[in-house]
Amino acid sequence: MPTPLPHGIHKRSLLRNDVYESIRDAIVDGTFAPGERLRDPELEAWLGVSRTPIREALLRLERAGLIVSQPGRATIVAPLDPASTVGAQQVVAAMHELAARLAVPLLGKAELAEMTAANSRFAAAVKKNDADAALAADDEFHGLLVGACGNEMVPVMLEQAMPVLRRVERQRFSSHEAQHSVAAHADIIRLAAAGDADGAALATRENWLSLGSTPER
């Protein structure tokens, strides 16, 4: 007999992702502060879902380094840990460097125009001190290279490493230092337009490695 249609599977998958993203974003934006205890009943009431997707989301967040589970005691938001942040930063920088190196030879005028438009939106958001809009535009800018690179492992690795780095990224995009990212993005676009895959890759790497340190990103 033919395989039955997977009724409800996609809906459930979307629900799990929505719950995960809601808790993750609340940690990143400081709604849930470092060290704060996360209680299942309160999360269930907030999100209007059962305990199962909550527990699944918390397991993902623990693997991502955003929460710490203390068996038999509590689940808390992970403290800001410089060592974990640096480790995540190195992985993210390496993945974006690879994405740029693979993507640049495949980029056309349309993709370069989209990157330029994303950087314009990023610049406008930074000028307004709108961290949420700046993050969205930055994600779009770098996401164009990731999407074009053709390596399916790159977004998988980024999904694992980015949550820890996101808290630092939000802090950076809430300050005047984010202005330097506009120029860094423009340099990446210039190198990509010239077909310089190695140059664009190295500029992308430095763009990410400078996050939270010297004002380059």
Q: Are residues 195 and 98 in the same domain?
A: yes
Domain identity same for 101 and 72 = no
Question: Which helix (H) or strand (E) is 122 found in, with range?
Answer: helix 109-127
Tens digit of pLDDT for each residue in 74-115?
899 998 888 888 999 999 999 999 999 999 999 999 999 999
pLDDT digits (tens), the chain, 217 positions: 343 444 444 455 567 888 998 999 899 888 899 999 999 999 999 999 988 999 999 999 998 889 998 777 789 999 888 888 899 999 999 999 999 999 999 999 999 999 999 999 999 998 998 888 999 999 999 999 999 999 999 999 998 889 888 888 887 777 667 788 999 999 999 999 999 999 999 999 999 998 865 333 3
Q: How far apart are CA 91 and CA 209, in angstroms?
A: 10
Would you list the DSSP string of 167-206?
HHHHHHHTSGGGHHHHHHHHHHHHHHHTT-HHHHHHHHHH
Task: Establish if 174 belongs to a structural domain.
Answer: yes
Residues 116 and 190 in one domain: yes
| Cα-Cα end-to-end distance for the chain | 57
Domain termination residue (choose one: 57, 77, 97): 77
Say how far residue 77 (Cα) sits from the centre of its chain: 18
Contact 176, 170 (CB under 8 A): no
Global pTM value: 0.80
Are residues 200 and 120 part of one domain?
A: yes
Domain end point (choices 77, 106, 134): 77
Domain around 160: 82-209
The single-letter DSSP state of residue 31 is S
**Residues 90, 54 within the same domain:** no
